[in-house]
Amino acid sequence: MKEVNVLLDEEDLKQLKEWFHVSSEDEAVRSAIQHLLKTKVYSDLLALEGKVKWTGDLEQMREGHV
């Protein structure tokens, strides 16, 4: 981890703590950053929809699996 000092609006921090159900400002900021990163990754994956061509045989891949 890396320590970073930033100035944040107190009302923004209060809102983040409520949204993420956390008690500390550190937890709120970390939760917000994690949420943002996960949302971006998900968005990037959705953007690939219809652009990736599947080649393979699902029935063959499923053989032997319950």
- Does some domain include residue 61? no
Cβ atoms of 31 and 20 closer than 8 Å: yes
| Structural contact between residues 16 and 32, judged by C-beta atoms closer than 8 angstroms | yes
Angle 42-21-28 from CA coordinates, rounded to 5°: 70
* In-domain check, residue 46: yes
Calpha distance 34→2 (Å, rounded): 15
What DSSP string describes 9-57? -HHHHHHHHHHHT-SSHHHHHHHHHHHHHHHHHHHHHHHTTTTS---S-
Model confidence over 7-61: pLDDT tens digits?
999 999 999 999 999 999 999 999 999 999 999 999 999 999 999 888 888 888 8
Owning domain of residue 33: 10-50
Say if 18 falls within a structural domain.
Answer: yes
Question: How many domains does the chain contain in total?
Answer: 1
Whole-model pTM above 0.85?
no
Residue 55 domain-assigned (yes or no): no
